[in-house]
Amino acid sequence: MERLVVDRREVLKLGGLGALAAAGLVVPIGVRAGAGSASTLASAIMPRPYRRDFLRPPVLQPYEVVKDAQGRPVLERYSLTARQFEAGIVGGGLPTTMWGYNGMVPGPTISVHQNVRVEMRVRNDLPAVDTTFGQPSLTSTHLHGSASLPQFDGYASDVTQTGFYKTYEYPDFQGARTLWYHDHAVHHTAVNAYSGLAAQYHLHDDLEERMLPQGQFDVPLTISDAMFAADGSLAYDDKGVKSLWGDVILVNGVPWPVMKVKPRIYRFRILVASISRSYRLRLSTGHTMTVVATDGGMVPVPQPVTQFRASSGERYEVLVDFSKYPVGATVDLLNASNPNNVNYDHTNKVMRFQVVAPSSDDPPPYAIPADWRIEGEGKATMDLQRTGKERVTRLRLKHDDVTNVWSINGVTWDDVVASGYTKIAANPRIDEVQLWELENSSGGWFHPVHIHLVDFKIVGRNTNGGQPHPWERGPKDVVYLGEGETVRLLAKFHVSDDTTGGRYMIHCHNLVHEDHDMMTQFLVGDPDFTNDPHPIYAAPPVKDDLPEDSPTYLEYPPGV
Ligand code: C2O
Ligand code: CU
């Protein structure tokens, strides 16, 4: 299998469709002179902004709930199937073949309460060989934002083949936050996530339920971008393993949708799931949005901003107050972009809100509670202070212009594989606090860096007067490392009670960079690998020979 993976990587190194184009096999995408689009769809069927209704992904129901003696749920079991399906995104009735959890893009939302553990069974029911690259369809599922055990963390090389499933276990002991589950298979992550294998996962807790809007006023917005070939299929062009720039912006899988909103305050859980693109989000009215939570949960002090920068993997929860506008008004969520993104005619737009009349049964208006505060893990992270005695880990992110390889401290994931998974970039002990210094040493690129397992506090930037930006003053697990930027973070390497630590990935969340091969790992705990669960062998995938009527096949909504 490894050999096949390497072959695929060679194809990708040559630039995917670009390489095929060079051989005269396909029309290159996105090189039409002066074109305002990357797609090669006929303009009559090209998606246009603000023509489609907003869609909220369904919430997945557990197929089994285990309760304690008092009848309180302690464990929920969910079933997901990664499979190919036909989506309706472009016009003219042309289907777009995509991959989705339970056959939808994004996948269903999982919503659980703190301390209710989750077992999530993910079946790989994808075609054995993918049609784009002719390689085996491998999956690995990562719950981004969870302090999972290493063998359930979606370790890139812990792959599940077609016809197998893996049951992931999530501790959910952390505080309320917006997490997301997405594919993480080694060298396949960009294509798999781009094809649709991504979805939100909401962890609630008592404090958050009192502090922030819930239910219909708590709205997931998963933002991604895509480009389409003339036949309506998803086109993949990463410009020679540099980045993929789609010309169609999707929110919850719908191009530039229109959402009807009541004249009141909404909470939006904004997740950038684009594989390369970063955004600078603002409202067309110039009004503020209030950042109330970041990747790891609620912020100590809500931050009003008129715009904010967000890249792949980051989550920002913002409040938007539509009571400022008359019924019938429209307010657009726009993208002012950031350096080193490639923009097209409509990539400056994201979605539209249309204010409609309130209903008599709406709950009372929401206001940020006067006793706003944070607790638990989030507070512990944001209370971290530099002592000057903490050990320092330095990471340099680089591109080699000769070999076209992306690396961290000169190391690629292939180097980690070649070391028998023993090469590490850092070795914090359990509960140690370290200062991490991340430096972007690649000119002309930005890198969103994701550290698995932990939440961190951004304590310094070499730009912005040394301070974190207002929107990133909360617990984070992805940090935007802009051109020429160096950032400093403090993190406590806390693990769940039932582990002795283990190996976790660090990578660029531009998934094209990650796949080629800007990813390394660190080891929490004892340095000799004797106590940590092996991320690949401790919980291997099993053959999928479940009977067709097994409850693990239940999908919600049925038949979608
Ligand atoms: Cu969202 Cu290691 O990934
Ligand atoms: Cu990068």
- Separation of CA 95 and ligand 2 centre (Å): 32
Percent of the chain with pLDDT over 70: 91
**DSSP classification of residue 132:** T
Ligand closest to the CA atom of residue 243: 2
Per-residue confidence at 206, pLDDT binned at 50, 70, 90?
very high
Comparison of pLDDT for 496 and 60, the residue scoring more = 60
- Which residue CA neighbors atom 3 of ligand 1 most closely? 144
pTM tops 0.85? yes
Smallest CA-to-CA distance from 152 within 493, 540, 500 is with: 540
Burial degree of 276 (CB within 10 A; 0-12, 13-18, 19+): buried
- Separation of CA 395 and ligand 2 centre (Å): 13
Closest atom of ligand 1 to CA, residue 182: 1
CA–CA separation, 83 vs 137, rounded Å?
A: 10
Burial degree of 45 (CB within 10 A; 0-12, 13-18, 19+): middle
Per-residue confidence at 30, pLDDT binned at 50, 70, 90?
very low
Is 235 strand, coil or helix?
strand
CB-ligand 1 contact for 315 (6 Å cutoff): no
| Gyration radius (Cα) of the chain, Å | 22
Comparison of pLDDT for 183 and 29, the residue scoring more = 183
CA–CA separation, 552 vs 77, rounded Å?
A: 9
CB-ligand 1 contact for 144 (6 Å cutoff): yes
| Whether the Cβ atoms of residue 390 and residue 437 lie closer than 8 Å to each other | no
**pLDDT of amino acid 35:** 56
Ligand closest to the CA atom of residue 185: 1
Closest atom of ligand 1 to CA, residue 154: 2
**pLDDT of amino acid 529:** 86
**pLDDT of amino acid 28:** 38
- Separation of CA 271 and ligand 1 centre (Å): 12
pLDDT at 9 over 50: no
Paired sense of beta strands 198-204 and 110-113, if any: parallel
Mean pLDDT of 297-310: 98
**For the segment 35-74, what is each residue's pLDDT rounded down to a tens digit?**
589 999 999 999 999 999 999 999 999 999 999 999 999 9
Q: What are the structural domains, with CATH classification, of the chain?
A: 59-207 (2.60.40.420), 215-355 (2.60.40.420), 376-525 (2.60.40.420)
Compute φ and ψ for 75, nearest 5 degrees: -150, 135
Cα distances from 238 to residues 15, 281, 459, 480, in angstroms, run 6, 24, 33, 20
Query: How far from each other are the two terminal CA atoms of the chain, in whole angstroms?
Result: 32
CB-ligand 1 contact for 513 (6 Å cutoff): no
Per-residue confidence at 548, pLDDT binned at 50, 70, 90?
low
Give the DSSP H/E element, type plus range, for residue 377: helix 376-382
- Separation of CA 518 and ligand 2 centre (Å): 7
**For the segment 396-405, what is each residue's pLDDT rounded down to a tens digit?**
999 999 999 9
Per-residue confidence at 497, pLDDT binned at 50, 70, 90?
confident
Please report where in the chains the tokens 């994931």 appear, as a residue. Answer: 413
How many C-beta atoms surround the C-beta of residue 286 within 10 A? 8
| Whether the Cβ atoms of residue 320 and residue 283 lie closer than 8 Å to each other | yes
Mean pLDDT of the chain: 91
CA–CA separation, 115 vs 244, rounded Å?
A: 38
Compute φ and ψ for 14, nearest 5 degrees: -75, -10
**For the segment 106-153, what is each residue's pLDDT rounded down to a tens digit?**
999 999 999 999 999 999 999 998 877 788 999 999 999 999 999 999
Ligand closest to the CA atom of residue 142: 1
Paired sense of beta strands 297-305 and 289-294, if any: antiparallel
Percent of the chain with pLDDT over 90: 86
- Separation of CA 23 and ligand 1 centre (Å): 34
**For the segment 409-444, what is each residue's pLDDT rounded down to a tens digit?**
999 999 999 999 999 999 999 999 999 999 999 888
